[in-house]
Amino acid sequence: MKTQPITHSGLVSTRLSYGCMRITGTWNPQEITPEREANGKKAVLAAYETGYSLFDHADIYAQGACEELFGKVLKDVPSMRKEIIIATKCGIRFNGDPNPNSPHRYDFSHNHIIESCEKSLQRMGIETIDIYQLHRPDLLMDPEEVALAFSQLHQAGKVKYFGVSNFLPSFVTALQSKLRFRLVVNQVEIHLGRLAPFYDGTLDQCIAEGITPLSWSPLGGGFLGEGGKTEDPKRLKLIETLDAIAKQYGISRTVLSLAWLLKHPSHIIPIVGSANPEHIRDAAKADDVELDREDWYRILVAARGEGLP
């Protein structure tokens, strides 16, 4: 697979990333069976063997069980660690954490960031996280407090680089103003069913500041992929357009939807989240598609559901 640099870092990633949110087959750790664990390992290895080099995690995925399962794969294939980039996230706390009456909230406090990082390292059995991200904007974020936590983790050798997720440009700017090093990624929901990042300044800021955008749910939760279903007339029209253009290129709708993202000059890295090895391998074909400008705009217009201004 082709590669690209993660700006402001020494990291070089493949143009597609593999997301580990679904590798346990459930978000309830008590429902993880030996069969589900075996399937999860197969999915991770399929991504690794296909050439994906950036693996995306978060501490909340299956309450940490996804990180634990990934750690087992690293133990089984120790050479893998030196060949991949490991990214994970912190900051979301669900109901009952840590007390029964604790509400669902976002937490960028110094202690929570430090403790979350330590736990992720332990679960994956690694010494360093390559990219550590804040998961969703905490409205009580104190950039100086976050900067202190980041600096301590970096100085301790526990994190190489830092990023954010689901941040609008103003939040990125506020945090960056207090950091002594550059944020390297912003992971945002970007796909043909959600065009906001193309218009709200998110991708413009990524270009201007050299931040690499990571696209979570690049297939719109599956509706853009083969077998995806929707009853929305606007989305049905988009699917028809994608199918027609995909046929011209001799590729699947999934591959075309990913290739559409790859063409943007901000160098979006789509995060492929399927746990099906066949689908993981098929998605990688987007790396070889050169979509022309006219077809890119045909697809954009179909996604907008109206003509350009």
Provide the sign of the torsion angle of the four alpha carbons 43, 193, 59, 178, taken in this order: positive
Q: Is the pLDDT of residue 142 over 90?
A: yes
Using pLDDT thresholds of 50, 70 and 90, give the confidence band for residue 224.
Answer: very high
Give the model confidence (pLDDT) of 71-114 as tens digits. Answer: 999 999 999 999 999 999 999 999 999 999 999 999 999 999 99
Please give the distance of CA 157 from its chain centroid, rounded to a whole number. 23
Q: What is the pLDDT of residues 18-36, one digit of tens each?
A: 999 999 999 999 999 999 9
Domains and CATH numbers, the chain: 3-304 (3.20.20.100)
Report DSSP state, residue 157.
T
Cis peptide before 100 (omega within 30 of 0): no
pLDDT digits (tens, 9 = 90+) for 151-174: 999 999 999 999 999 999 999 999
**Which residue in 243, 241, 188, 244 sits closest to 213, CA to CA?**
188
Give the per-residue pLDDT at 25: 98
Gap between the Cα atoms of 123 and 193, Å rounded: 34
Catalytically annotated residue among 48, 61, 132, 161:
61
What spatial distance separates the first Cα and last Cα of the chain, rounded to whole Å?
Answer: 37
Average pLDDT of the chain, as a whole number: 97
pLDDT over 90 at 231, yes or no: no
Output the CA torsion sign for 179, 184, 190, 195: positive
The Cα–Cα gap between 113 and 158 comes to 12
DSSP string, 82-112: GG-EEEEEE-EE-TTSSSTTPPSEE---HHH
Say whether 61 is catalytic.
yes
Distance from C-alpha of 176 to C-alpha of 87, rounded to nearest angstrom: 19
pLDDT single digits (tens) 265-279: 999 999 999 999 999
pLDDT bracket for residue 228 (50, 70, 90): confident
Question: For residue 175, what pLDDT band results from cuts at 50, 70 and 90?
Answer: very high
The tokens describing 37, both together, are 């664990």
What pTM, to 2 d.p., does this model score? Answer: 0.97
Tens of pLDDT, residues 91-100: 999 999 999 9
Q: What average pLDDT score do residues 284-294 get?
A: 97
Share of the chain above pLDDT 90, in %: 96
Q: Is the pLDDT of residue 182 over 90?
A: yes
